[in-house]
Structure 1
């Protein structure tokens, strides 16, 4: 007959075996079930449904978050301003009667509840909204313009009074004046010299007095269609054969979609190596000499050469090569620019001016700003105007990829400060400064 002590030991052993078996099973389940990714390859996209990137305080902007899901799955939406998560969770986000403090970069992200947990999309690229508490805003295109293009800028005044003079400034210097009160300025046949910070001043008469306001600076960016190429020579034995070296032609290509194809040529001592290729790299024999490359867009008759770069001991001076070749001049396209004129009550009454000899009853008055905001633009390389291009700007930074060559035939060688009003008057009446969803 078993003693109580032996029964206790037997039961304890059975319990320990059971626990060990369960532990082994749980570990096996963890190894068998694959880990489900929590982030998809989809990237959410934010688009402006109404409003502009620059608005007056008291105006509204409507944004929409869309997810390029071909399966039409049901998604939830999360909205962010900078690092702050906003309480809204709908597809459409409304920044209602915005205040100056509502300025910022807004973006969204999609989420979906599944049997294995929540799955998230990649965060969208941000959309920046600037809320101005002043009296004037210079509306400029949000995307860089291309050399040779035309663009329109608009001087908006709070309340849309009947203007009698509008002046456009670039880097603080007057460049255009319109006496008929037309708030739209056209910049034609752009060059890199037109890049800079622009502002506007508008004047109008009211109560037998002339009032004048000035906008905050806004950046106008102008970029080349094709930057000057930069040649890179790779002669690392770990990357290429000891008898060969790799020539890589780096270039910034900005064109409107669908972008015409770009061809590459490589040269040694000004003599072309092989035929044109759609790839921006080539393998050549490792020999001393002066090497260069050329990028050409045949449909635009645009071609640019890089500076020559030496490899090994090369006698003689550096050879010179042309930088640009144009076969014909193409007329630039004029993109349409819409300028909505929304009416909102004035933030505060401008200060009237004292009469002057030229105007016995009125004189211009400048409304001094109380807060400055500046934006920077990216300086592009130097380039003469190319010509007309199709629509929608896209920027492609060419890099080396080991794809097969595609051969082509070559036919030639070739500040104002912000007029931010006081808090009690610059913002329109509202119960809440936060965004709301309809």
Structure 2
């Protein structure tokens, strides 16, 4: 401190650097988790990077969230615990000065964090609540949430191997053993969601149940009755049909009945919608005690054909002299009425439907037998239904879905009967089946208990296995940038197929290809051809076809390839020796190069199957090179495939047994064959294994700028044939001096390749 008289001054303080950032900070919100467990809470933390002394405001669903409602908060409200779902954010604030009411400086509002709340745990129930489910029945799984308030939920199911719905009910039509498994559900509503329910195990029995009939006794006392009971073991909710002597017995569909007539009794259970029926029970024989005999009533046919009749016979065993009374019941709403009396013959012919019975009598006064067992006679009306197959494809494959529809002209209400092989048939006009094997399917209509239409039978032809299409490509060899046409052929081409097109992608870990749908092929094409524009490189393609709902797919076709001779930096193939024609005994090396380090060499030939096998099947692979030591049956097209899926240029290699024609495999050339005489050419006498080369050189002229070389391959052979003579025409790009005949072949300006014909001795 410095004093001057009465004045006092201090020294200057040390400097303090004030740094002001131009950007406005943004608060950051983090959550320890984003789903609130049932009855719990989660922790939210708000912070501002690089600074402190902040207090924080909280927001939920865009509105300020009162900290008084927040449980477990800490000053200055940086960390809070919440138990409500919603979208949360926060904002920091602090006074601009040292206090004293200066205005508050606020950050930007933080990022929003959606929080979901678990509200309850649903329960999966089965409807109907049968303890045992059989193959072919229809069941519904229901996801039930307590106290849901009637608000719409979106549901998620986790069944075994099945696409699940988004509703609370999960209906499975005609269950099978493939539907066995555990089923769970959960639901979501806004920012609320439930836990997964406990697993509900659905067990489907593959066997068809058989009803069981029991009788408390098997002999009806005089003037009495016996009680019959029908049951299905291990399950309930059944209604029961009763049968006597093979005909339906007109009683209610109840489990226990009383009968006072002798006969062979059986029963059958049914339940559900659509109706599922058990097998018929075994028959129980009930005998009636009395002094009077019971006649036997038989029918040669229980169904009266249209415009015809059937014969009924009534007889009393072991005695004679009887005359017969006949009775007919027109419908279930009427009692039996007498139609003929005191008939001397025990046989009558009837042309009307109904329930028939008979009684014998003899003597004076007349002694009557018991009334016979009843026989139900049905009548066929002259109406033949029409069976329509949808889709109406001439050939169906195993596994496809087919609907058969039975149509009957006229306004009468009909129920329907289907006659199939080893199947539970519906009683409706439509019969939806999964094709399994070829067979006849028949339908007829039933108007009441006694009236039927004719049968109409349709033949369903089912093929197995499913078809494999045949793919072809055109052209096989590319002109760079040209279009490529794919054609996919399936048997019965016009039968509703849509076609899907794929690119084959190399997989070095296996001999097969992975497949990628081509653009424009996601939903398939109606046409069985597909054009690819601008194809530049070798590529493989595959197709398959699909049809129906749900869609049924054929097998994939075998891959087909379009080849390009042009190499490219990503993948290229070179051949050593560098020529197209090779002899059997000389090794050939195929080398792959490009952007990858792992390669395989493949080929296509007309003699091997499968044709696109890889080097390990016919050669030796060392790194990126494939060596073929002996060229038996190896003529074909060769190419490289890389680990990343690139295809190289393709090379066409020809194997010759007696002759070798040399020219580089990647150059353009023109040649043709003729038969000419050959003389020895001293210019090439130093080359080994040459019998002769070039008998005549023609001067190049302005018109053709070319030369012809004629050669006899083996003039010493006794088996001389015209095909042993050869001539080759070479095109050159500029005139060559006639005084230099060798330059006509290998002149440096023209760059013409050397052609040599060798004879293998």
TM-score range, shorter chain: under 0.3
Point out the structure with max Rg over C-alpha: 2
